[in-house]
Chains A and B, each alone.
Chain A
């Protein structure tokens, strides 16, 4: 016999997670359209590994299997990780990364709801440190011959990899600036595969994430705070550097539509378990990720900064939440 309230809104963790997956579909569709079906193979690989790892850990921890396997949280981790890794990565890389995310980052910390770090981002950091070379091989647009992709993922036919992959404009920009081959605009202009705002194809994937993310806000799965603060601060920082020196820093919109910025703004930074929870806390947390992402991306050695930035801000969450407790009823100034 339960106590009041006896009424409950028909919501569930599963429904929340499924909506997050649904919101990834527009970005995923653009991904497939421009870069072929390899990403679907990666998503299938990551999903299977995530469910297998989840099931194994649930059994070891003696938790109800069906209840937690069907909650969808492992799938969200798997999809976010697959979307962060290059789609032509060898199968074992995706599997190892996913298993690390589920087993170490999620379950060793206590499972659903207990992990202080975003599992997908922590796993991404592990593999990018371990295999930096593999994680810089991004497909060029119209490289979508599925048999070739399949070969590369499963048969280890990596010798043709250079023919199918290329540096993303973000990478090309960094390398170019480093080598001193020219000014930012010139480098980007000369980069093969540069689209209107950012990488050809990639900018549309980013638009897809934006559309799905806005839908999540409309569905009240996430609040506006984190995406808005992320985008605002990210654009502000990028604008400041760009205005300071347009020769050395790319325009802000290029940065926003490159790499994982919008995926992070709507899907990664908004992971409720590892994010700040108070309204003001969310703003601070997202602002921190945006700032660090830009700094790491522009001044660091890695192609993108979202994973490291997210982890760094994950560490700050307990402090941010403690400092930003909103005033309660009757105690407002």
Chain B
């Protein structure tokens, strides 16, 4: 029996998972239009590689990774590019970003696919390959996976954690994936273990998923991987919480878990890596739970770019649905509309209604009861952060580790005063970021100004010096006849300097080929001859 480590706090919201696991994963049919945002991962926004009217194949790269942190995006199916334009993104802000709008031809014609030999590939080649197949973390953060698939300073990792905890209510995409494609998950985990040279692999699954645990245990037989049931307690599926539960290691905020000898990947990511390495297929789809206020809650295999409204129609959205949430009820984002597309970070589409997700009762003052501190998995004092954020004492909020907050929502969940605590933290964080940006801009402006002042002062000083020197020369010649000799010396020096200047020093004469050198010496000799001739003519004139 493996020893597990509890994390502090956490809550037990109603799971609502049974509804969407009654039926197996269904492959969503082909819809009439796909809107594929180019920016689907943390990091740089990929550049578009296609234009209006271009035909594309399924799996063809349509957005090239940009910069060190970025991941490519691909056509989810074959068809024609209708437009590359700004469309609303699946984000609470409702902001638009560049998307490729694709009209499928229905043929599903793939690009050429070939397995990738990761065992004999150089680390650079492997990194580029994973970036160009668009592999990102499918747990929700969409962090480019190639950045995590490097064994770190030690050259090898102690523990590779595969995250199948899935602690948010309603979401069952990982659960069904493990039930139905356990062998692929395990195969993906095995590939990652090779890449990371990991000593051990632990797959953590919340104990409310007995079917998934059983399927994974069967698939992992003879593989030397541990499939571990962890107590169901939100947010056990947070990477840091799961690492803590399984290994006892606490990775502090802002530190790379690799430096602590551990790395964590979602089960969906394991499948994505398997498909990319073993099949040569880029990441173009994922499992998405459609749940909440729908007639048939279910998991679908969905192509990226599928509009949420198409999936909601498939699942039978009920008429009293008043909002669409991407993710679960604890951390999900409210969507600006139903036409926004499914992206790599979309694990769940939750239809909400007044009955299902009732608005919170009126907010009361904080009574410092400390329930939030008992629930906080980051061991923070949430009510103190709330007081500081409210008072705009952002420095104090940072001293009390505001940025260690993972915004899991446990504090707001238990608050008897119904305070939207996480909103206060989001506000404080964005204010701090804004102030830092302002400060940076102000610093840059100040250093620019200081440099200019310095330069102007220097120029002024130089000018004054020159002027003084000139005046000195003039005064010397005018007043002191004895200094005539000195003047002559100066004049001679100036003449020498001018002569030196006149002698053209040829440049770029190093590392020349023999032919070039020969050519140069030919030119030089010609020039010398002409000089000689000119000199003779001048002598004859005088």
- Interface residues of chain A, those whose CB is within 8 Å of chain B, are 1-9, 11-13, 15-16, 64, 67-68, 71, 73, 111-114, 223, 272-273, 275, 277-278, 321, 325-332
Quick one: which of B1-50 are within 8 Å of A by CB? 7-8, 11, 13-14
Tell me the minimal C-beta distance from B427 to chain A in angstroms. 11
B16 nearest CB neighbor, chain A only: A7
Which 3 A-B residue pairs are closest in the complex by CB-CB distance?
Answer: A330-B252, A5-B409, A113-B365
Residues of A within 8 A of B378 (CB): 328-329
- Supposing A3-B334, A114-B365 touch, asked if A330 and B423 sit within 8 A by C-beta, the answer is no
- Residue from A16, A64, A111 in contact with B416 in the complex, judged by beta carbons closer than 8 Å: A16
CA distance A325 to B369 in the complex (A): 16
Task: Tell whether B486 is near chain A: CB-to-CB under 8 Å.
Answer: no
Tell me the minimal C-beta distance from A181 to chain B in angstroms. 47
B368 and A4 form a contact (CB under 8 A): no
Residues of B within 8 A of A111 (CB): 365
- Supposing A113-B365, A114-B365, A329-B252 touch, asked if A3 and B423 sit within 8 A by C-beta, the answer is yes
Task: Tell whether B204 is near chain A: CB-to-CB under 8 Å.
Answer: no
**9 more A-B residue pairs beyond the given contacts A113-B365, A277-B383, with a C-beta to C-beta distance below 8 A:** A1-B323, A3-B334, A3-B420, A11-B371, A16-B416, A67-B362, A329-B250, A329-B377, A331-B401
Residues of A within 8 A of B365 (CB): 111-114
As a 0/1 sequence over residues 415 to 435 of chain B, the CB contacts with chain A under 8 angstroms (1 = contact) are 111101011001000000000
CA distance A273 to B359 in the complex (A): 26
A11 and B364 form a contact (CB under 8 A): no
Task: Tell whether B361 is near chain A: CB-to-CB under 8 Å.
Answer: yes
- Partner-contacting stretch, out of B107-115, B212-220, B324-332: B324-332
A-B contact pairs, 29 of them (CB 8 A): A2-B360, A3-B334, A3-B423, A4-B325, A4-B327, A4-B329, A4-B407, A4-B409, A6-B330, A7-B14, A7-B169, A7-B409, A8-B413, A11-B415, A12-B361, A15-B416, A16-B369, A71-B364, A113-B368, A114-B365, A273-B367, A277-B384, A278-B381, A328-B401, A329-B7, A329-B244, A330-B251, A331-B252, A332-B379
Task: Tell whether B253 is near chain A: CB-to-CB under 8 Å.
Answer: yes
- Supposing A112-B365, A272-B367 touch, asked if A328 and B413 sit within 8 A by C-beta, the answer is no
A330 and B404 form a contact (CB under 8 A): yes
Task: Tell whether B380 is near chain A: CB-to-CB under 8 Å.
Answer: yes
A66 nearest CB neighbor, chain B only: B362
B416 and A4 form a contact (CB under 8 A): no
Task: Tell whether B153 is near chain A: CB-to-CB under 8 Å.
Answer: no
CA distance A278 to B381 in the complex (A): 8
CA distance A283 to B178 in the complex (A): 47
As a 0/1 sequence over residues 89 to 123 of chain B, the CB contacts with chain A under 8 angstroms (1 = contact) are 00010000000000000000000000000000000
B412 and A330 form a contact (CB under 8 A): no
- Residue from A9, A16, A114, A325 in contact with B381 in the complex, judged by beta carbons closer than 8 Å: A325
B334 and A328 form a contact (CB under 8 A): no
A221 nearest CB neighbor, chain B only: B369
Quick one: which of B179-230 are within 8 Å of A by CB? none
Task: Tell whether B357 is near chain A: CB-to-CB under 8 Å.
Answer: yes
- Residue from B255, B361, B364, B418 in contact with A330 in the complex, judged by beta carbons closer than 8 Å: B255
- Interface residues of chain B, those whose CB is within 8 Å of chain A, are 7-8, 11, 13-14, 92, 169, 240, 244, 250-253, 255, 323, 325, 327, 329-334, 352, 357, 359-362, 364-371, 373-374, 377-381, 383-384, 400-401, 404, 407, 409, 412-418, 420, 422-423, 426
Residues of B within 8 A of A272 (CB): 367-370
B357 and A326 form a contact (CB under 8 A): no
Residues of A within 8 A of B240 (CB): 329-330
B422 and A12 form a contact (CB under 8 A): no
Tell me the minimal C-beta distance from A119 to chain B in angstroms. 13
- Residue from A5, A13, A278 in contact with B330 in the complex, judged by beta carbons closer than 8 Å: A5
CA distance A236 to B414 in the complex (A): 36
Residues of A within 8 A of B422 (CB): 3-5
CA distance A13 to B364 in the complex (A): 8
B325 and A6 form a contact (CB under 8 A): yes
CA distance A8 to B362 in the complex (A): 12
Number of A-B contacts (CB under 8 A): 139
Tell me the minimal C-beta distance from A2 to chain B in angstroms. 6
Tell me the minimal C-beta distance from B228 to chain A in angstroms. 21
CA distance A284 to B431 in the complex (A): 35
Tell me the minimal C-beta distance from A197 to chain B in angstroms. 32
- Residue from A4, A68, A321, A327 in contact with B333 in the complex, judged by beta carbons closer than 8 Å: A4
Residues of A within 8 A of B8 (CB): 329
CA distance A113 to B416 in the complex (A): 12
Tell me the minimal C-beta distance from B357 to chain A in angstroms. 4
A327 and B379 form a contact (CB under 8 A): yes
B333 nearest CB neighbor, chain A only: A4
Tell me the minimal C-beta distance from B241 to chain A in angstroms. 9
Tell me the minimal C-beta distance from B330 to chain A in angstroms. 5
Tell me the minimal C-beta distance from B61 to chain A in angstroms. 34
Residues of A within 8 A of B409 (CB): 4-5, 7
Give the most central of A6, A68, A73, A326: most B CB within 10 Å.
Answer: A6
CA distance A9 to B169 in the complex (A): 13
CA distance A326 to B8 in the complex (A): 12
Give the most central of A7, A73, A111, A327: most B CB within 10 Å.
Answer: A7
B367 and A13 form a contact (CB under 8 A): yes
Tell me the minimal C-beta distance from A253 to chain B in angstroms. 30
Tell me the minimal C-beta distance from A247 to chain B in angstroms. 43
Residues of B within 8 A of A64 (CB): 362
A330 and B253 form a contact (CB under 8 A): yes
- Supposing A328-B380, A328-B404 touch, asked if A6 and B329 sit within 8 A by C-beta, the answer is yes
Tell me the minimal C-beta distance from A179 to chain B in angstroms. 45
B381 and A6 form a contact (CB under 8 A): no
- Residue from A6, A273, A329 in contact with B379 in the complex, judged by beta carbons closer than 8 Å: A329
Tell me the minimal C-beta distance from A264 to chain B in angstroms. 18
- Supposing A9-B11, A11-B414, A113-B365 touch, asked if A4 and B332 sit within 8 A by C-beta, the answer is yes
B414 and A9 form a contact (CB under 8 A): yes
B401 nearest CB neighbor, chain A only: A328
Residues of A within 8 A of B418 (CB): 8, 12
CA distance A332 to B401 in the complex (A): 13
- Residue from B244, B352, B368, B371 in contact with A273 in the complex, judged by beta carbons closer than 8 Å: B368
Residues of A within 8 A of B364 (CB): 12-13, 67-68, 71, 112-113
Residues of B within 8 A of A112 (CB): 364-365, 367
B373 nearest CB neighbor, chain A only: A277
CA distance A321 to B399 in the complex (A): 14
B370 and A223 form a contact (CB under 8 A): yes
Tell me the minimal C-beta distance from B542 to chain A in angstroms. 92
CA distance A112 to B364 in the complex (A): 9
CA distance A230 to B25 in the complex (A): 58
CA distance A114 to B329 in the complex (A): 31
CA distance A331 to B401 in the complex (A): 10
Residues of A within 8 A of B413 (CB): 5, 7-9
- Supposing A277-B370, A329-B240, A332-B250 touch, asked if A2 and B359 sit within 8 A by C-beta, the answer is yes
